Every structure is written in C-alpha cells, then in structure tokens.
Amino acid sequence: MTTDWSKTWAGQNGWYDGYDSTNLGNFHDISTLTGAEREAAIASAREGMVGLLEQKGVTRAQILDPTTDVGRFYQSQMDSATAGGETSLRDAYQATAQHTTSNLDRGNKWGADDNKYIGRSFLDNIANLTDTQVKLTARTNDNMVRQLFKHGFDREGTEEGIKYWTDKIGKTDEFGKTWDIQEVAKSFSLSEEANIRSAFSDEYGRDIRDEGLEYWMNTSGDVEAGPNANHGDFDASELVLASLQNRDDYEQVETSIRDAGWDFLGQASNQAQRDTMPTLGDNKLFTAMENDQVVDWVNKIHKNEMTLDEVIARPELNEEGTEIAKPAGILYDRGDRMDAFNEYDKDDSGDQATGMGRFASLQEVQKTIDDGETPDDIRERLSKTTWDSLTQEEDKEVGKEGLSTSGTLAQQAAEGFESTPFKELRQEEARANLAPHETWASTMQAYYKKQHDDKKEVKSAWRPTVPDKPGIPDKMPVAESEIDYMPNTQADPFSKTPYGAAKQAFDTEKSKTQTPTQLASPTVAQRFTGTSAKGVKMKRSKASRMGTIRGTKQLGREQQTKSLNI
C-alpha cells in the first residue's frame, strides 16, 4: 500500500480541481482592463501563481528572481497572462499548476537526475563514457578526479584522496582489474557517501547537510577492524534509510514534519507519495515541501526553541465534535487557511466554469494571521466578494451546501486518520519504498565481493538501540555511612561458624614473633629478569607497536577512510 492521495486535504477538498479543465472559465482578459481593476487582476495573478509554485517547494524570493529556473518560468507565465486573450489567465494558472520545479531550485543537487553535469547523474555519465569520449575531454587524470569530487559530491576532494584515485588510473590491481576514470566514477557512485546522499534525496527531497554527512560517515557499526579493513566492511546507507523512515516511538522529527506536510498540504517528499497524485496535463502533479523551512523547524525543535506539536499538531474537538477545543500546529492551520481561500474563491459560475480555486501565497496567509483573522473569518470575508481574477463568481454561505468550516475540516482529518491508522499506513509506505535502496545495497555488496574475490563478507547494517532516558533519582534521605545495612547482626557474621575457629587460630599464630625468610641472592634475581614470561609473549597489534592504538570502531572507520579515500 502507498499513500492515498485522497487522504490529504489537497485531494479530499479538491484544491487542484479544474486545473486541467478545457472550459473557458470566467477569468479576466487582463489586456482589456484599466486602472485599479487592472492592477487588482495583475496582483491576483501574481499571488495565485506564487501560491501554486510555493506548493512545489520553492520560496517567494526564488520565484521573483529572474535568474532562477522557477523565476524564468514564472515571468513567462505572467507575460502570457497580461498579454491578453480570452483564456490567457486561465492558461497561465493551469500551466503553473502543472509545472515541476527543478531539483536545483529546491536544494537537491545530488538528485538532479535530469542534469548530467551534477550529482549522481554526473558520476553515472562519466562511468558510461567511452575511452574516445574521455580522451576528447583533454583533461589530465588529476583534473578528472577533482571533477568527480566537485561536480559529483559538490565538494573539494582532499589532496590525499585525489592522489589515491589518480595513482590507481592506468594500473592493474591485485584482482586483475585495470583502473580508468570510468571505473573510478563507478566506485564513487557505489560508495557509502553516494548511497547516504541518495537516501536523503529520495526520502526528503534535499541534499544532506555537511554535518549530517559527517555524522553518518563516522558511524562505524559493530565492525571488527583489522589490517584488511576496507570500505566494504560497513555501509551506513541502510542505517540512514531506516532512520529516515522510522515512524516508531523514536521517529525522526523531520520525518514527522514531512508526513504532516503531506497530510495537511498535499506536499510530497518521497516517490511513494508522488505516485498517488492525480495527473494534470501530461504528467503527475508535482508538489514538495520547502526544504530550508523544514530544516529550520527541525533545528529549532532540537534546540528546544519550539516543540514538534507547534508544527504538526491537529486541533482537538470539543465533546460534540464540532468546534475546535485546542489550537492546531502551523501546518494544519496553514492548510485550514489555504482551504478557505481555495473553496471560497472559485471559478464556479455558469456552464463554462472550470472549478479552479484560488491558491493563496504564504504572504497572503501570513497577512490573515497578522490581522487576527481565523480561517472561518477568511471564509466569511471571501464569501461576500469576487476573486479579482474572475469576472463573476457564485454567492456562498459559510458552512452551507457542502462548504467547509474549520470544524468540519477537523472532523474530516480525524475520520481520515481513524479509518487508516496513521502509523500503520506510514510503516507500510516505508516498506514499499525500501526496494530501490535494497538495490543499492545489493549492488554495492556484489561489487565489493567481486573486487575482493569473495574473500570478504560484507557486514550487515548496524541498527541502533535507543533506550529510555533514565530519570535522575531523588537525593537519599541519609548518608550511606548512617545506614545499618545488616541490623541485628554481629560485626563478624562468621564468628559462630567453623570459619570462626580457624580465624581465631590464625590470629593467635600471627601474634607470635616471626622469623624472616632468607631472600634469594641478587644473582638469582638477575637470572630470572626478562625470562619469567618466556613462552607467553604479549601479542601486540601493529597500531599498538607504533603508538597509535585506537578503539575498535575508531580504527574501523580510519581503515575504511584509508581504503575509499572519499
């Protein structure tokens, strides 16, 4: 089972209804307008398109920046909308709804698979080049290796790592393998670092941060290090994936936020969610959470500057189940406000109505919060006005004829989660989405087994155990020295046992004058010096003899790093 698109508000409440309609609709021809009416229509078009694009994981600043991919797209649609035509504004809205923002704009360089010059697609591209194509690049081996680091991993390689890989090229290793730049690129793409980057790209839709990569690359697991320790001994990528997909008692904060973003806003973070989306135009509808905002929330939660509930909580209903008794978190409240705009500003008048609803921008949503409006206040206001993008619109009455209120949304959300238990659904999603990563692991393991002539068994991934945090015990009421641990017991509990008689005889003998025993001569002592442990020589590792002894896990990580050098 995968996520059911209809279980999100954007699906159940039809936020995207009509965005593929061929009806003419009731949209303004902006070229025919003048004065304040024209300015209002242009402002409405701008905010509507910004709102639609923000649903796709980009920021307002990026949208209004003509140098970004999304900025260029937005400007082209605004130009079309204002140029004039009976359906020009409708067409611009629909094109924006059907647009897929670029991975680069969303901060996912590694997963930009449609761009062969960056990320994993760059490494795969180099790995598949022919010898002739490599020669045409007219680059030295050193330069090519540097490019693998720079364009593949988006970082500079260390001089030691660059030299390690450069020295391999043109040589045949102990397994009979002749190395070239294509094989080096293949090793990069099969590496632990590549797999960890893919886990974040595929589950969260973003690049892993440097500190996160450093943390996971230094997770060595229960690997016994040895002189032949190598990168294939332990790959943390399966552990990373399991952690990102964890929805048990110790679930990831970011995973929880992304699940809520899907439920309340219809914003997808992984492919399992996107697979359930409706088709708009020729492709699946694309949405995504804005990554910098998500990471900012996660950091604040970790610093105790806010709680997870402040971001993802659903409101509590009163005993009648009709009114909200407890405020909702940021994402639920945003979904409630956006639902008000989408449902109460809609192209719904006449036979040629498209059914397209308004997408409010986050700037518009924030203004309602600053003005002290509740979501139902927004509904009341919009029910009495016409969307500035439309020439006409049906009159509406809040809560009537199937129109929603905050209370009905809360009931809808509660019923949806009750019918499909939240945690079970998410766990099934995680299992369903595991397959591609199992492929990585099997590919990597097969590769390293081949390289090491099946002499090295790849260890299974370590799974951390997260114990309950112990509480701090209360201070003891008295000092330990004041406690009578053995009440009604004599000082020597053995005094009335056979041991007591033996002890008394020993004490009597001990009190007598003792005659010292003659010590061995110095020559005797010298004769045994250095030979008393002969035949029981202490075994010392090479690291110990060199004075660089390390703990098992630390040594394992060092050996892995030396082996892979990336």
The per-residue pLDDT for range 245-284, each reduced to its tens digit, is 888 765 689 999 999 999 999 999 998 898 889 899 889 9
Answer yes or no: is pLDDT of 452 > 90.
no
Assess if residue 79 is contained within a domain: no
Has residue 29 got a pLDDT over 70? yes
Give the range among 29-38, 183-192, 554-563 with minimum mean pLDDT: 554-563
What distance in Å separates the CA atoms of residue 482 and residue 128, rounded to the nearest whole number?
78
- DSSP assignment, residue 326? E
* Nearby residues of 416 by Cβ (< 8 Å), 6 or more positions away: 7, 12
H-state helical runs in 452-534: 498-511, 522-528
CA nearest to 172, candidates 163, 162, 183: 183
Output the pLDDT for position 402.
Answer: 78
18 phi-psi bin (left φ>0, alpha ψ -120 to 50, beta other): left
Domain that holds residue 223: 119-204+206-235
Q: Is residue 170 part of a domain?
A: yes
Q: Let me know if residue 83 belongs to a domain.
A: no
**At 131, is the pLDDT very low, low, confident or very high (cuts 50, 70, 90)?**
low
How long, in residues, is the chain?
Answer: 566
The Cβ of residue 124 has, within 10 Å, a number of other Cβ atoms equal to: 16
Q: Is residue 101 in some structural domain?
A: no
Q: What's residue 327's pLDDT?
A: 82
Query: How far is it, in rounded angstroms, from Cα 226 to Cα 232?
Result: 13
Residue 316 binned pLDDT confidence (cut-offs 50, 70, 90): confident
More confident residue, 335 or 439: 335
Task: Quote the pLDDT of residue 410.
Answer: 83
**Burial classification of residue 134, based on how many CB atoms lie within 10 Å of its CB (0-12 exposed, 13-18 middle, 19 or more buried):** middle
Average model confidence (pLDDT) across the chain: 77
Question: For residue 218, what pLDDT is reported?
Answer: 81
Calpha distance 150→144 (Å, rounded)? 10
Instruction: Write down the pLDDT at residue 513.
Output: 53
pLDDT in tens, 38-52: 999 999 999 999 999
- Tokens representing 401? 């004829």
Angle CA 191–194–198, to nearest 5: 140
Tens-place pLDDT, residues 146-197: 999 999 999 999 999 999 999 999 999 888 889 999 999 999 999 999 999 9
pLDDT of 558 strictly over 60: no
Instruction: Give percent of the chain above pLDDT 70.
Output: 68
Euclidean distance between CA atoms 74 and 538, whole angstroms: 73
Q: Is residue 88 part of a domain?
A: no
Q: Given this model, what pLDDT does residue 416 score?
A: 60
Greater confidence (440 vs 414) lies with: 414
Domain total in the chain = 1
Range with the poorest average pLDDT among 153-167, 342-356, 521-535? 521-535
Higher-scoring residue by pLDDT: 405, 546: 405
Residue 360: closest CA among 337, 383, 377: 337
In a domain, 169, yes or no: yes
Q: What percent of the chain has pLDDT above 90?
A: 52
Closest C-alpha among 265, 264, 253 to residue 302: 253
Contact yes or no for 207/107 (Cβ under 8 A): yes
Q: With cut-offs at 50, 70 and 90, classify the pLDDT of residue 553.
A: very low
Instruction: For residues 487 and 76, give the distance between their C-alpha atoms in angstroms, rounded to a whole number.
Output: 90
Instruction: Note the pLDDT tens digit of each residue in 211-222.
Output: 999 888 887 554
User: Is residue 146 in a domain?
Assistant: yes
Q: pLDDT grade, residue 134 (50/70/90)?
A: low
Q: Identify the band that residue 103 occupies on the pLDDT scale cut at 50, 70 and 90.
A: very high
Q: Is the pLDDT of residue 437 over 70?
A: no
pLDDT at 421 over 90: no
CA dihedral of residues 302, 308, 310, 315 (deg, nearest 10): -170
Q: What is the pTM of this model?
A: 0.73
Which residues are within 8 A (CB) of 327 and not within 5 positions of it... i.e. 6 or more apart?
Answer: 315, 333
Q: Residue 1 has what pLDDT?
A: 33
Rounded Cα gap, residues 528 and 91, in angstroms = 99
Predicted local confidence at residue 357, as pLDDT: 97
- How high is the pLDDT of residue 325? 74
d(CA 307, CA 313): 10
Closest by CA position to 280, among listed 94, 437, 123: 94
Token readout for 327 is 């405020």
446 lies in some domain: no
